[in-house]
Structure 1
Amino acid sequence: MLDNHVASKSSRIAKVLKVGALSISAAFCLAAATPASAAAAQEDRLQGLIEPIKAEKPYKIGVTLVHLNDDFWKGIAYGIQDEAKRSGVKVVQISVAGAYGNVREQFAQLNALKSLGVDIAVVGAASFNGYDPIFKDMQKSGIKVVAAGIPVNSPNVTFGVGQDDKSIGVALADQICKAKPKSTVATIPGPAGAEWVRLRYVGFMEESKKCPGLNVLPGAFGGNVGLSYGLSQASDLLLKHPDAAFIYTPEISLGMGAAQAIKQLGKRTQVVSSSVVKEAIPMIKDGRFLAVVSEPGIIMGRLIVQYAIRQMEGKPMPNLHKDKALPYPYVLTPPVVITPADIDSHPFNIYEIPPHDWRIDALQ
């Protein structure tokens, strides 16, 4: 099964990312050094990951994403839209499925994109499975299919741009082990059926076993990725396990809910999570979050456009991986850990958070 392939190959993908992670970290350090260097980093919108090119023709891109409830997906949408304007291609529509599991809604949106005559269909899939027939039909119609942000189980994807989810879990476990190895960790694994959720949890649990004295309490997959669910689950966990020093969550809305529960109960428990939104920044600063992994949605969106142009024009596609980890070629952005110590120097406007006045031009 593909799930097993993805899990077994994630460590190798992490090795592939090593050089890229170092370059990204270096870029962060340069951006934090002085205002002048920060401005220079802003000018390099792709941070040296790929050389930007302009399209020879005004290709049409259509987009359907899971939701726009957090800055990760907003960042991808903004990155696609802004890079398209810079690169001479047109975004004809950006649609949202509404939530994970809303596959039927996304199928309707994909059919709408087909009727609009798009050259490239960008899909942040609402589910890991079930998309192969519609992707195959789109490919037969000459439409390139791009997997955005998270993996999807179909060989009829032209290429994908995302991140190594298992390495995110590994990074979070490593932060806990460094901070307090002999401690208890409660876990909120996240919703069932989302492959990225499963991989992060697997990475976290496997890495935690390497930390002597660390007691990780297994959790059950379920619920959603809402703040209220994170709050309720964390409240229950802290009542059952008042000695828990940390709570693991796979993404930031669950993490913020857990952080609220910690504050309400007057605990000193810290949260580890992934992705950054504006509302979480004060919680990272005050220490309720031990660490958060950056998920550079804006960079992903820009890479999607740049690689789509190359794909359409038969030009070289550097750093495109082709192996059994996924059933299609893919590009990965390296994870970067953000802590209270470096939160003020992190360039959110380049990597995660769109401008405050940004609006989607075409939204179904």
Structure 2
Amino acid sequence: MVKHNKSPFFRAFSLCACLHGLAIAAGFSISVTANAVETWSLEQRTPYNAKLQQVKTLSYRPLSTAKRPWRLCALVPHLKDAYWIGIDYGLVTRAQTLGVALELFEAGSYYGKAKQLEQLEHCMKSDFDAILLGTVDPELLKQYQGQISKPMLALVNRLDSPLVSTRIGVNWYQMGWHAGDFIHRTTAKQPGKANTEQANTDQTNTGQAVQLALLLGPEKLGGSTWVEQGIMEALEGSNVSISSNRHADNNRDLYRDQLHHLLKDHRPDYILGSAVAIEAAIGALAQKDTAQDIALVSSYLSPATLRGLYRHRVAFSSDDQVVLQGKLAIDVVVRELEGAAPFGDIGPRIKGLTPDNIQMKQLTDSLAPADFYPIYRVEAPKATPQP
């Protein structure tokens, strides 16, 4: 049994129905047949919880069932955008597959620290076997006054605590680096916009600086800090200058306001932001005569940015396969409950999507289906009485 919520926002989430329908019509299925040996292509990163890491690729064979109907608690910052809805979809579908119970709680936003601490206390005192913590703050556990008495794994976001030694997600520094590197490589190829290294070696080159505006989400919360650092690292040696750096919660209306002030101030060559910011930018630039002059780059994928890629209105998006992250989180926490050692820093490979390389069959682990509504509870199947 599942419980879900059908709010107006989530009905609007069906914007990508046509794209998902294309995948279904083409015969691409999210499920795997019972006879197939399913493996997931993942990355193991070391050192744990570090910004700069070494990566080892691995082929992971997921569980077929759980030994017990474990009860799992998942805490997430919010379910206001496609990113965390995709995580929820992965969590729910995997819990159903393995026959474990799941209850999910959202803090409402990245500013809901007090609420998430209350939810953590609830999960710690209730009859859950383990907790998946998608924290609103890397330092959250330092402010938790209770006793950590249950296994806890970090979900998506960095969690700084010696009590947690498994994190399922990707390196957000690398998410930013991929987006910044796209801009660096693209501008280096554009006539009249040569990079700084070329300009330093050729005094006759007077390439004009490329202006980049950043709209990266809540300041110093979630993964925004490391995303920004990754962008800056990737842009070193380029002729790109940051003309504006703005932050807001992941709310499209807030980003519309930010974009209004940004475009009133100047017209950058690129806008790089969270998927919610880029969704707002697609609409805002459609009203402007200079829309074609500003390239949009998203730090992660959403249905609207995917449509933008298909329509050549978005130039690039990082894709960290959020559905697979959710599925992996359930699989890993069950394995650890059943005796496995901590998995360290583990997650999918980051993909770089452009209008020229999108393949629908490769996106089933990247976005929830268009008709999926957030689900907050999965109940484990009741045991069948023995004759």
TM-score range, shorter chain: 0.7 to 0.9
- Can you list the C-alpha shifts for 1:56-90, whole angstroms capped at 9, x where unaligned? 22211011111111121111112112111212322
2:337 is matched with: 312
Work out whether 1:190 is the aligned partner of 2:190: no
Q: Which amino acid aligns with 2:93?
A: D
Inter-CA distance 252–241: structure 2 relative to 1 (3 Å threshold): same
Work out whether 1:70 is the aligned partner of 2:70: no
User: In the alignment, is the contact (CA less than 8 A) between 1:233 and 1:258 conserved in 2?
Assistant: no
1:300 is matched with: 325
1:144 is matched with: 151
Work out whether 1:356 is the aligned partner of 2:361: no
User: In the alignment, is the contact (CA less than 8 A) between 1:132 and 1:155 conserved in 2?
Assistant: no
Q: Which amino acid aligns with 1:261?
A: A
Gaps (5+ residues) in structure 2?
A: 1-22, 43-59, 194-209, 379-387
Shift of 1:302: 1.0
1:338 is matched with: 353
1:3 is matched with: none
Distance in 1 (CA, whole Å) between partners of 2:346 and 2:306 is: 28
Question: TM-score w.r.t. structure 1 length?
Answer: 0.78
Give the RMSD, CA atoms, in angstroms.
2.6
Shift of 1:347: 3.3
2:254 is matched with: 229
Structure (1 or 2) with the greater strand fraction = 2
Work out whether 1:100 is the aligned partner of 2:125: no
Distance in 2 (CA, whole Å) between partners of 1:172 and 1:80 is: 27
- Can you list the C-alpha shifts for 1:169-189, whole angstroms capped at 9, x where unaligned? 111112112322322212224
2:169 is matched with: 162
Inter-CA distance 316–48: structure 2 relative to 1 (3 Å threshold): farther
Larger RCO (CA within 8 A; separation ≥ 6): 2
User: In the alignment, is the contact (CA less than 8 A) between 1:168 and 1:200 conserved in 2?
Assistant: yes
Shift of 1:336: 0.4
- Can you list the C-alpha shifts for 1:95-128, whole angstroms capped at 9, x where unaligned? 1100002111111212222232111111111122
Distance in 1 (CA, whole Å) between partners of 2:216 and 2:372 is: 34
- Can you list the C-alpha shifts for 1:14-54, whole angstroms capped at 9, x where unaligned? xxxxxxxxxxxxxxxxxx9x956x44985577534421122
Shift of 1:164: 0.8
1:274 is matched with: 299
User: In the alignment, is the contact (CA less than 8 A) between 2:322 and 2:365 conserved in 1?
Assistant: no
Inter-CA distance 46–85: structure 2 relative to 1 (3 Å threshold): farther
2:269 is matched with: 245
1:263 is matched with: 286
Shift of 1:94: 1.0
Total equivalences in the alignment: 312
Inter-CA distance 202–96: structure 2 relative to 1 (3 Å threshold): same
User: In the alignment, is the contact (CA less than 8 A) between 1:46 and 1:302 conserved in 2?
Assistant: no
User: In the alignment, is the contact (CA less than 8 A) between 1:76 and 1:301 conserved in 2?
Assistant: yes
Shift of 1:130: 2.9
Give the alignment partner of residue 141 of structure 2, picking from 123, 131, 147.
Answer: 131
1:325 is matched with: none
Gaps (5+ residues) in structure 1?
A: 1-31, 321-328
Shift of 1:207: 1.1
- 1:211-226 paired onto structure 2 within 5 Å: 211=238, 213-220=239-246, 222-226=247-251
Give the alignment partner of residue 199 of structure 1, picking from 223, 226, 242.
Answer: 226
- Can you list the C-alpha shifts for 1:305-358, whole angstroms capped at 9, x where unaligned? 1111221122366xx4xxxxxxxx321322101111233535333222245145
Shift of 1:258: 2.0
Q: Which amino acid aligns with 2:81?
A: D
